[in-house]
Amino acid sequence: MAVVFGPGRTIKPVWFDWNNRKHAVLETTYTWTDFMGCIKRLHFSVRDERSLYELTYDTNEQTWELSGLEDN
**15-41: per-residue pLDDT in tens?**
999 999 999 999 999 999 999 999 999
Domain ranges of the chain: 2-71
26 or 9, greater pLDDT: 26
What distance lies between CA 24 and its chain's CA centroid? 12
Q: pTM of the full predicted structure?
A: 0.92
pLDDT level of residue 6 (50, 70, 90 thresholds): confident
Chain-centre distance for alpha carbon 59? 12
Nearest to 49 by CA among 11, 68, 22: 22
Instruction: Identify the pLDDT of residue 52.
Output: 97
* Other residues' Cβ atoms within 10 Å of the Cβ of residue 53: 21
